[in-house]
Amino acid sequence: MGEVETLEGAAVARIGAAEDLAALEALRVEYLGKQGSISGLLKTLGSMSPEERETEGPKIHALREKVQAALTARKDVLESAALDARLAAETLDLSLPAPDAPKGSVHPVSQVMDELAEIFADMGFAVATGPEIEDDWYNFTALNMPESHPARAMHDTFYFPDTAPQGGRMLLRTHTSPVQVRTMKAGGAPVRIIAPGRVYRSDSDATHTPMFHQVEGLVIDKGIHLGHLKWTLETFLKAFFERDDIVLRLRPSYFPFTEPSVEVDVGFAIENGPDGKGRRVLGGSGDEPGHGWMELLGSGMVNRKVIEMSGLDPDQWQGFAFGVGVDRLAMLKYGMDDLRAFFDGDVRWLKHYGFSAFDQPTLSAGVGARA
């Protein structure tokens, strides 16, 4: 018998006798590794004459395939035996008592984020995200706030010393509006998105924190007007607060990235909460006795300059945008009075205001159903 036949017989026999996966791996390295005996035979093909290569080549390649097949077959046998042994050793005592109910809760901000996504998804909006560390071109300039624009003073911005790719500065985004610009530049129009996420401003009191959450919406299409904006906001707020008597009032305002710009007020009434204290509850006209108007969000028609800087033709495409604080929505809907408690990590607060992990918001069951 030649060298190839002898090596084949010895290899197959040793592989078949391997007792565990570690021994099998050692044999694989011995035969098929870089310095293995079969690998050595393959290297000799280069020094053979064409006639020798034609005769010996098929034998060596067949040897390699047989050894590889033997390794695979033995590995399957050993893994199957190991699994059988593990299944035989492990037991499950079905008589043990059921575990305690899951502990922990979903933070109100996370719950409201899910509610917003559910409502807007039903209205045909996609969820878009972007970086929280932005450059000032996306955060300000592309939104019609150049370097000298006074509107930049409206934002107490956290700047980094790094230089941005556009030549400006890097910063922690002050709103999620840069996501709107990035979405238009990346995908063109039409666009129908919401952009929820964390934003940062240097401010801290009972109703402001250095980090908070916003959701902004953007619709870009042909023939869009202010009536579409009002309908969208009315439909959203009725679904979110689960009341059909939500009444909106639009007031002229100013935002550099929308023209015209409007502040949106919502009618509210004072009702006694579970603790006996009066609190604002949205619903009804603010002009009725015992009612009032609450400023809730800002919105408007997207400025032509913003559409143009996003790579679109403002003569062809129009749209509206709006923004509202997610934390503020949670406070209004679930009766919280101090924004700072959202970030204190107080377990008692989380137990009281938190949601069950199984309480997934759905339009059919009511997006705000508490478990």
pLDDT digits (tens, 9 = 90+) for 12-29: 888 888 888 888 889 888
pLDDT digits (tens, 9 = 90+) for 41-57: 888 887 888 888 788 88
On whether the CB atoms of residues 337 and 322 are closer than 8 A, the answer is: no
Domain boundaries defined on the chain: 3-89, 108-353
Peptide bond into 161 cis (omega under 30): no
Q: What's the pTM value of the predicted model, to 2 decimals?
A: 0.65
Higher-pLDDT residue of 176, 271: 176
By C-alpha distance, which of 172, 254, 258, 261 is closest to 214? 172
The answer to which of 46-50, 140-144, 172-176, 312-316 has the lowest mean pLDDT is 46-50
Q: What backbone torsions phi and psi does residue 306 show, to the nearest 5 degrees?
A: -65, -45
2 — pLDDT class (breaks 50, 70, 90)? low
Quick one: average pLDDT of 296-306? Answer: 93
Q: What backbone torsions phi and psi does residue 364 show, to the nearest 5 degrees?
A: -70, -35
182 — pLDDT class (breaks 50, 70, 90)? very high
pLDDT of residue 227: 92
Residue 330 has pLDDT above 90, yes or no: no
On whether the CB atoms of residues 284 and 244 are closer than 8 A, the answer is: no
Domain over 108-353 is classified CATH 3.90.1150.10: no
Residue 286 has pLDDT above 80, yes or no: no
* Sheet of 133-135, strand order: 133-135, 169-172, 159-163
